[in-house]
Amino acid sequence: MKKLINRILIIMAVASMAISSCVDSYEDANPPRAKDGPVFNLSGGGDVIETPADGNFLGAQSNLLLTLEVISAEGLIDSVGVVLSDTLGTAIVDQASLSAVRGQKTGSIRVIYTSPDAIPVEADITLDVTLYDGQQPLDWFGKEVKYRKTSADSYDVTLVACTSVGLAGTYTTLASGFTGDGGGGPASPYTDLPSQVTFTEIRPGQYKVDDMSFGLYPEGYGDTPPPGNVNLCGTDISDRGDTDQYGDPFTITGTLNADGTVHIAWGNTWGDRGTVVCTPAPI
């Protein structure tokens, strides 16, 4: 009987060790569940011009203000990272706004992107923004379990030379100048040539004009008016190097005046040229 009792005790001890071993293995393989990752909305502001159809535009020496509106950060807000797709401009996290909400579940954080001093060629930039939570690694039965989670979003913006508005519309024009001699010089003068042109906004800062000759081709030559594009920077108008149907490049400079009139000086490599007063046409 004593031997039987001893055997039973040994079996119970072995079983207890097995159960303990199973529990340890179960706990080792099943650490506590990590908290959900952060969730936020990203929106743009500052100097950026957002157009639903054509995208977002930013001029030179301008600021794009991105706001991360943190909806939920169960692991608590910790830090923000931002990466640019190009080396044009700089982006920084506003540390004051981050410090104000670090360790909280919700809040607003700002990222500021500054465009270059000059933008000779339009460029598309993507800002990749990442929000990190504050969940710390856990030592679970001698193993480090990493809990930190992230959430990411991006914002696309096109850098352009200008983002000014106000040139769009139809104008009656009165022009004086010269026809060209074919070699870039003047041939015959013309004065008080009447016509009509329309500037159509392609996007803020860029406009299509339906006649770069401001009446000379259709009225002076009986030819098809050459369309082209111009930039509007503040009140200054400049060409974009467009050519007519014969391959002649046009130069255009001008001013958008406070009274709504537009003064233009233009020329081409054939030698055609003119100075033009554009007056908004009656509606």
pLDDT of residue 99: 98
Q: Over 80: is that where the pLDDT of 219 sits?
A: yes
Count CB-CB contacts under 10 A for residue 227: 16
Confidence grade of residue 14 (pLDDT, cut at 50, 70, 90) = very low
Condensed to tens digits (0 to 9), the pLDDT of residues 259-274 reads 999 999 999 999 999 9
Structural domains for the chain: 39-159 (2.60.40), 169-280 (2.40.128)
For residues 91 and 127, the answer to whether their CB atoms sit within 8 Å is: yes
Residue 130 token pair: 């990442």
Measure the N-to-C terminal CA separation of the chain; round to a whole number of Å: 117
Condensed to tens digits (0 to 9), the pLDDT of residues 84-101 reads 999 999 999 999 999 999
Q: What's the rounded mean pLDDT across residues 44-73?
A: 94
Q: What's the rounded mean pLDDT across residues 116-137?
A: 92
pLDDT of residue 21: 47
Count CB-CB contacts under 10 A for residue 211: 20
Indicate the range of 26-30, 113-117, 239-243 predicted with least confidence.
Answer: 26-30
Question: What's the mean pLDDT when you consider all of the chain?
Answer: 90
Condensed to tens digits (0 to 9), the pLDDT of residues 179-193 reads 999 999 999 999 999
pLDDT of residue 108: 98
Count CB-CB contacts under 10 A for residue 199: 22
Its sign, for the CA torsion 164, 166, 170, 176, is negative
89: Cβ contacts below 8 Å, ≥ 6 apart = 113, 114, 115, 116, 125, 159
Q: Is the pTM of this model over 0.85?
A: no
Q: Over 90: is that where the pLDDT of 131 sits?
A: yes
Q: Over 80: is that where the pLDDT of 26 sits?
A: no
27: Cβ contacts below 8 Å, ≥ 6 apart = 141
pLDDT of residue 147: 76
